[in-house]
Each structure stands twice: as structure tokens, then as C-alpha cells.
Structure 1
């Protein structure tokens, strides 16, 4: 975590974009922490909050989409081969596919707000064959809500909390 602050100080929103892009398809990086840090830097005047939001949104959408493609082309064979070792039988896999067909849009849109699901969202949706168009729309909406919350929330409420404390 100690490398995040110097990276953001040196490269600004480009560093944020790279961190969030890789985190969005499964690489264990502290994306949300980096986003909040950038938002606080924007509140100080070191970054532009609009740039922070756009970098976060674009990285989240592109990273999840990369995860979707990886899951679509490679995830299913892995689930079939190693799934039974984890208790994921053919029956359960079929149930998950049905669940994703029925509620996949909502799952993808809200998964960004849950730590482990945020990283695996695209991989799972791709492996379970969620329709691409549904995935992209849900992904873009969820990323906008998530990026908006963590970009503008700390930015606008920093002074409020400072005055309150």
C-alpha cells in the first residue's frame, strides 16, 4: 500500500486508471483506497475531481470488460475442470447460469460495491455466458455509481467532516 501515494503523486489519474483497470479483472490491488486518495487530493486542489471520476469509471468498465472476455473464453473450462474440487457440481453451475440469466444485470451492477465480487465480476459473468450487451450496460451503470460515490463523496464531504470534527 505504501507505493500508492507516491505513484498517484507522480502520475496522477494515470496511476489511478492503471490500478483500477487491473483490480477490475482480478489482480489484488487496493483500487478503492487509491480512488478515495485521489478524491481527497482533488479536494485539496492537487487533482481535478472530474478527471478522477472519468479515470475511475473508464478503468472500471474496461477492466471488467477484459475480465468478461477472459471468463468467456477461458473461464468455463476451468469451472468444469476444477469446480467439483470446490463443490461446484454441474447442477450448481447450471443453477448459477440460470440465476445470472434472470438477475445478472442487477448482480453485475451492484457487485462493484462488494470487495471480492468487484474483482471477479467480469470473469464470472463471462464464464456464465451472460449476454455481452447486458453485461456492458450493467457494468457501465454500476461503474458510474461506484466511481461517483467514491470520487465525489470524499471530495464534497471532506470539508463537512472537517468542520464537524
Structure 2
């Protein structure tokens, strides 16, 4: 599937990068990390311009996050009811609601890059919870800057080994997510221990 998206980037360039970044922030299952790696690789080859790849991916990701946030504002309870028929997505949304309730802006920041699979659900949950738009936007913008620049830069630097890099980063993403979850759980346990 990754190769399919590489071919799309080769054919459609910035349009695919923009659509991928936008829709992945709305929980559409698109391998956006692979698309950004491909964008970086095509920039290294001279087929795309690096600053344009970064800018398009960044602005599109921010737009997707803002859309998700606003959808959460408009229909958080509707979304909860709709997800009842989809247990895996409902579980992700419940985790996102819990993260936003406990950690607020920290959840927003880390969900954009360190725990990216939870990101779209955090957008919905933050909007539904009435989290402030300005703090959401600031923390989201900082996190997306890390996510976009890291993946595009890796694609640019390791353009000749893109397939191997995509596989490695998929594995690394799972490890990074597990480490972040363990750290957050550890902090929660320490706080709980201090209260007692």
C-alpha cells in the first residue's frame, strides 16, 4: 500500500500530500507518514521543492486538526453515538476523551506526533470538551511542526532507502507510542501516590 501512495505522490505531488495530511487528521486511514517521507524523497531528487512540501503538509495537517476540533464542538455527542457500532474506533475516542480530560493541552501536543494514531480522536474530543481554541491551536501547531518536519526531513535525507525507512518508522512509531503511554501512566501513578 505504501508503494501505491509513493506512486500517487510521484504523479500528483503536493495535491496528494495536502489531501493525505488533511484527511489523516480526520481519522481517515491514510499512511500520511509514508506520503510525507515520499514528499521529502522527491524533494531530494529535485522533483518537488522542499519548503513547499513542508508548508503544504503543515498547513493541511493544521486545517485537518481544526476541522476535527470544530466537528467535535458541533457534534461530540452525535459522534459518540455513531461510534457505538464501531468498537475499535469507539475505544480510541474514549481514550482520547480520557486523555483530554486528564491532560488537556499535553494530550493535544503529544497526539500530533508522539501518539499520532490518537491524534484525530483527540481533535474531536478537545472540541467536544470545550477546550479553548487558542491553546488548542498553539499546542497543535507546535506538535504538527515536529511531526511534519521530522518525516519530510527523514524522507529527504534517506531518499535512497525510502522503503526500508518507512518500515522502520512504522515499527518505531509503535515503540514511541508505547514509551509515551508508559511515561504518562508512570506520571499518573506518581501523582496518585502523592495524593494518598
Which TM bucket (shorter chain)? 0.7 to 0.9
Give 2:120's aligned residue.
119
* 1:13-162 paired onto structure 2 within 5 Å: 13-79=14-80, 96=98, 100=100, 103-113=103-113, 114-158=115-159
Q: Stretches of 4+ moved more than 4 A in 1? A: 80-83
Q: Which moved more, 1:109-118 or 1:39-48?
A: 109-118
Structure 2 CA distance for aligned equivalents of residues 9 and 51 of structure 1: 15
Q: Over aligned residues, Cα RMSD in angstroms?
A: 2.9
Using the size of structure 1 for normalisation, the TM-score is 0.78
Q: Which moved more, 1:29-38 or 1:112-121?
A: 112-121
State the 1:13 CA deviation.
Answer: 1.1
Give 2:182's aligned residue.
none
Q: Which moved more, 1:17-26 or 1:72-81?
A: 72-81
Unaligned 5+ segments in structure 1 are: none
- The alignment partner of 2:17 has SS state of helix
Deviations 1:81-129 (A, max 9, x none): 877x97x9xxx99x93xx6366321211110222421332311211222
Unaligned 5+ segments in structure 2 are: 163-196
- The alignment partner of 1:26 has SS state of coil
Residues paired across the two proteins, number: 153
Instruction: Assess if the C-alpha contact under 8 Å between 1:25 and 1:121 holds in 2.
Output: no
Q: Measured at CA, do residues 117 and 81 of structure 1 come closer, stay the same or move farther in structure 2, by a change above 3 Å?
A: closer
State the 1:158 CA deviation.
Answer: 4.8
